[in-house]
Amino acid sequence: MKELGSPRAAGALGAASSVPTRVGVVGAGSWGTALALLLHRNGHRVRLWTWDDAVAREVREAGENRSYLPGIRIPEGLDVSADLAHVLDQADLVVSVSPSQFVDSVMEQAVRWLPPGALVVSASKGIETGTLRRMDEVLGEHLPRQQHDRLCVLSGPSFAQEVAEAHPTAVVLASRSREARLEAQTVFSSDSFRVYTDADVVGVELGGAVKNVIALAAGMAVGLGLGRNAQAALITRGLAEITRLGRAVGADPLTFSGLAGVGDLVLTCTGELSRNRTVGVRLGRGEKLDRILGEMRAVAEGVRTTEAVHQLALRHHVEMPITAQVHRMLNDEVAPADALHELMTRDPKPERWGR
């Protein structure tokens, strides 16, 4: 079991700033646990909430989150609890990192204990099925209006395992409030975790969600043994789909050339730690989706997000052929090999519209 670094002294990030020191992380999956470890190393007093009391006991007894992040030591100073009120008590910063389809129900409970004025950072990547809401929209409906300017979103190429192991990572943190994003940037930044800021909340949210859909397709290409050319084509044309949808819903297209766009897309489509790519690989090899998901403890967000992205594209009349084929594959309407063939034999088009 790896023991990583010693935490900085509390307040070492700058006594002159309004840096939060009491942090409540809501969601103890692999990503929530990794962010809790990062913030603990940064010298903050961190409490991590899990819905499963068995996970809390496991961490207390074994010093490790074996269910979601095995092999990484959880230091004694990082408090893991199944009591949401305890985790949020007097928190200066709250990190929402539940699976995207559960953020609404979790935050409905959490808001009653959320301290007024707390900085809220969403680190979940997905779009809610049915409502087609982004995570900032879900949180915005639960937060008091005066707290909307204290809401940020965190995204970018960041495997939980590597963040937990303090490997160099760069992400982007977006908020409509300059003050909020600069405050959050200070809290999360370390010598292994570089945080850039942006004002484009919509683009950062969308890039983090839709890249999981494209990763399913890229994984299927691997499972089918189609080679590197096919993977590169799917990543590049996937980026075009993300950008078209982003433009339609009000995002800045330039956002997708950065960490929340091409950066996260490349990592998720090519990295072996990617859950969505792994699901795609297994589908490409002929395994059934129910069996794959039944064997996974962690959530592959792209499986549920595909439906939401497909419906969002239809709502805004955006052409997203890769997403449409992934949607058909997940619903057993077409085999992976046939879907890839259909993508390759579509009518010829210019690479960029209007050229």
Give which of 228, 159, 156, 154 is closest to 185, Cα–Cα.
Answer: 154
Task: For residues 112-138, give the mean pLDDT.
Answer: 96
Phi and psi at residue 27, to the nearest 5°: 125, 110
Task: For residues 137-165, give the mean pLDDT.
Answer: 96
pLDDT score recorded for residue 284: 96
pLDDT, tens digit (0-9, with 9 covering 90-100), for 49-90: 999 999 999 998 999 999 999 999 999 899 999 999 999 999
pLDDT score recorded for residue 277: 96
Per-residue confidence band for 2, with pLDDT thresholds at 50, 70 and 90: low
- Secondary structure, 3-state, 195-217: EEEECCHHHHHHHHHHHHHHHHH
Per-residue confidence band for 297, with pLDDT thresholds at 50, 70 and 90: confident
Question: What Rg value do the Cα atoms of the chain yield, rounded?
Answer: 20
DSSP string of 139-176, one letter each residue? HHHHS-GGGGGGEEEEESS--HHHHHTT--EEEEEE-S
pLDDT, tens digit (0-9, with 9 covering 90-100), for 23-32: 999 999 999 9
pLDDT score recorded for residue 338: 94
Determine the Cα–Cα distance for residues 256 and 281; give it in Å rounded to an integer: 25
Q: Which residues contact 313 (CB under 8 A, 6 or more apart)?
A: 245, 319, 320, 323, 324
CATH of domain 22-199: 3.40.50.720
pLDDT score recorded for residue 4: 59
Where are the chain's structural domains?
22-199, 202-344
pLDDT score recorded for residue 230: 94
Give which of 338, 341, 287, 316 is closest to 210, Cα–Cα.
Answer: 316
Arithmetic mean of pLDDT over the chain:
92
Determine the Cα–Cα distance for residues 287 and 293; give it in Å rounded to an integer: 11
* Distance in angstroms between the alpha carbons of the first and the last residue of the chain: 55
Active site residue 349: no
Under DSSP, the state recorded for 193 is E
Task: For residues 39-44, give the mean pLDDT.
Answer: 96
Per-residue confidence band for 182, with pLDDT thresholds at 50, 70 and 90: very high
**pLDDT(11) > 60:** no
pLDDT score recorded for residue 300: 87
Per-residue confidence band for 8, with pLDDT thresholds at 50, 70 and 90: very low
Q: Find the helix packing angle between 201-223 and 336-344, rounded to 10°.
A: 110
Per-residue confidence band for 20, with pLDDT thresholds at 50, 70 and 90: low
Residues 285-296 as b or e (16 or more Cβ within 10 Å = b): eeeebeebeeee
Higher pLDDT pick, 297 / 121: 121
pLDDT score recorded for residue 239: 98
Q: Return the structure tokens found at 5.
A: 């670094």
Per-residue confidence band for 185, with pLDDT thresholds at 50, 70 and 90: very high
Look at strands 69-73 and 45-49 and give their pairing: unpaired
pLDDT score recorded for residue 267: 98
**pLDDT(144) > 70:** yes
CATH 1.10.1040.10 fits 202-344, yes or no: yes
Q: What is the pTM of this model?
A: 0.93
Phi and psi at residue 327, to the nearest 5°: -60, -45
Per-residue confidence band for 146, with pLDDT thresholds at 50, 70 and 90: confident
Please, which residues bridge with residue 24 across strands? Answer: 47, 94
For the ranges 1-10, 121-130, 224-233, 303-312, the lowest mean pLDDT is seen at: 1-10
pLDDT, tens digit (0-9, with 9 covering 90-100), for 217-269: 999 999 999 999 999 999 999 999 999 999 999 999 999 999 999 999 999 99
Catalytic residue among 125, 211, 288, 349: 211
For the ranges 89-103, 126-140, 290-304, the lowest mean pLDDT is seen at: 290-304
Determine the Cα–Cα distance for residues 75 and 305; give it in Å rounded to an integer: 34
